[in-house]
Amino acid sequence: MRAGNRKWVVIMVGLPARGKSYTARKVARYLRWLGYPTQVFNAGELRRATLGAGHRADFFDPSNRQNQRVLEGLARRTFDDLLEWLGREGRVGILDATNTTRERRDWLRERCREAGYEHFFIEVINDDARTIEDNVRANKLASPDYEGMGSEEAVRDFRARIALYERAYATVDDDEGSYVKVIDRHETMIVHRVDGWIPARVVGFLTNLQVTERPVLLTRHGESEFNASGKIGGDSALTARGRAFSRRLANFVDSRFGAGGIQVWTSTLLRTIQTSELLGRDRREWRSLDEIDAGICDGMTYAEIGESFPGEYEARTRDKLRYRYPRGESYLDVIQRLDRAIIELERQREPVLVIGHQAVLRALYAYFADVESERIPHLSIPLHTVIELTPRAYDCIEQRYALEP
Ligand code: F6P
């Protein structure tokens, strides 16, 4: 297999309620967005699907041979599913299970080696009692395992389950290969022998990920002269309608955030800068937020493109995601250049308002809402609408505000 096509198994490691699933899903969504088919395989889900839910702590006792055999069998089946999927269509398979013993990990490494896949570990370590408690209450009590049980009793039971796993837990050692250890909610990271493009993206992502919940607001600039005449690209100014939107936007932001902190990001194009002016707040101008480069079609209407370059027009209609304008960009190109903006967005602890453009916002939206690549170029991002996204541990809340002047 060529180095550029290597397939990866990411093995999660950590005690229950440390945030493994949260991290696994975030990484998967990011890699999928970058264009690498990635899927999470969760052993707990298979256990519940196979044996039914409702297992109490004593079920997980490492000294209970029979149950351990059952659990081991389920972990292996989860891994078989992962390998089968990687063989068929996947690029990165993430095994979301505790994998806290050396024996289990040695077995997994051996299977990866036999199958010809690379592997690296992401170990999530967190000993802060408060974080664990919050995690249990926020994510575990709703599990079908605890249906019909009082919350205090469920918390006690889950703590007992953790204690049983602690007995057999061995942290990943240097001789086990590449690993990333994410410690204390991303405060500290230890990176050991990580090598390769995909693992390097994952490390960069995890280094910047932080867990404060805050909204990201996306809006296109107000109507521009080019919008009014149906032309694409260019660097035209706002129309009177566009300026009226910028006033409404300023009022909206003031009433939502008052004098409080919200960052304002724009592209380097005039129409987004003008839209930000009445906000009266500092702004960051990002070249990577500039609209998709339409190359030789820049400044034309879609009808003109159809007449002058019918072949190009047709090719774009056929595959809008991959189609690259001659001397310009494709949606996939746009996604690649937005990687840094996404990582910066993940790093922020306060709300961010991004004033951007149609194609760029489709790509940013797709990251937060986990939209599959093929649908990205067709998402609806209308003018004069603010899309407020609040990413949470396992989903993303979306609210749209139409501010039509
Ligand atoms: O029409 C506004 C615009 O932002 C153009 O500048 C850009 O080429 C286009 O939208 C992107 O949308 P689509 O990919 O649907 O052509």
Of 192, 208, 224, the domain-final residue? 208
Label residue 189 by pLDDT band (50, 70, 90): very high
pTM of the model: 0.93
291 lines ligand 1 (CB under 6 A): yes
State the distance from the centre of ligand 1 to the C-alpha of 233, rounded, in angstroms.
7
State the distance from the centre of ligand 1 to the C-alpha of 301, rounded, in angstroms.
10
Residue range 209-258, pLDDT digits in tens:
877 889 999 999 999 999 999 999 999 999 999 999 999 999 999 999 98
Label residue 2 by pLDDT band (50, 70, 90): very low
233 lines ligand 1 (CB under 6 A): yes
Predicted confidence at residue 1, as pLDDT, reads 44
Residues 203 and 288 in one domain: no
Reply yes or no on whether 291 is catalytic: yes
Mean pLDDT within 107-121: 96
As for how many domains the chain has, the answer is 2
State the distance from the centre of ligand 1 to the C-alpha of 343, rounded, in angstroms.
24
- Tell which one of 229, 232, 324 to mutate to probe ligand 1, the residue whose CB is within 8 A of the most ligand atoms: 232
Of 13, 14, 17, 12, nearest to 27 (Cα)?
12
Residues 225 and 144 in one domain: no
Residues 132 and 50 in one domain: yes
Residues 277 and 202 in one domain: no
**Closest C-alpha to ligand 1, atom 13:** 359
pLDDT at 260 over 90: no
Mean pLDDT within 126-150: 83
Residues 133 and 178 in one domain: yes
Reply yes or no on whether 404 is catalytic: no
Q: Give whichever of 59-63, 139-143, 236-240 has the largest mean pLDDT.
A: 236-240
Residues 109 and 221 in one domain: no
Residues 176 and 48 in one domain: yes
DSSP-assigned letters across all residues of 310-370 = HHHHHHHHH-TTT---TTS--HHHHHHHHHHHHHHHHH-SS-EEEEE-HHHHHHHHHHHHT
Which among 32, 105, 119, 271 is annotated as catalytic? 271
User: What CATH number corresponds to the domain at position 70?
Assistant: 3.40.50.300
Of 158, 189, 208, the domain-final residue? 208
Of 208, 228, 257, the domain-final residue? 208
238 lines ligand 1 (CB under 6 A): no
Residues 264 and 170 in one domain: no
Reply yes or no on whether 192 is catalytic: no
Residues 250 and 193 in one domain: no
Separation between Cα atoms, residue 21 and residue 13, nearest integer Å = 10
Q: Which domain covers residue 339, as residue numbers?
A: 216-402
**Closest C-alpha to ligand 1, atom 2:** 232
State the distance from the centre of ligand 1 to the C-alpha of 328, rounded, in angstroms.
13
Residue range 378-393, pLDDT digits in tens:
999 999 999 999 998 7
Question: Strand pairing of 8-13 and 38-42?
Answer: unpaired
State the distance from the centre of ligand 1 to the C-alpha of 384, rounded, in angstroms.
15
DSSP-assigned letters across all residues of 218-273 = EEEPSPBHHHHHTB-SS-PPB-HHHHHHHHHHHHHHHHHHTTS--EEEE-SSHHHH
Residues 96 and 78 in one domain: yes
- Tell which one of 267, 291, 316, 318 to mutate to probe ligand 1, the residue whose CB is within 8 A of the most ligand atoms: 291
Which two structure tokens, joined as six digits, stand for 82? 């992962």
Residues 225 and 184 in one domain: no
Label residue 4 by pLDDT band (50, 70, 90): low
293 lines ligand 1 (CB under 6 A): no
- Tell which one of 292, 309, 313 to mutate to probe ligand 1, the residue whose CB is within 8 A of the most ligand atoms: 292
Residues 21 and 130 in one domain: yes
Label residue 394 by pLDDT band (50, 70, 90): confident
Separation between Cα atoms, residue 289 and residue 271, nearest integer Å = 12
State the distance from the centre of ligand 1 to the C-alpha of 33, rounded, in angstroms.
20
User: What CATH number corresponds to the domain at position 393?
Assistant: 3.40.50.1240
**Closest C-alpha to ligand 1, atom 1:** 232
pLDDT at 33 over 80: yes
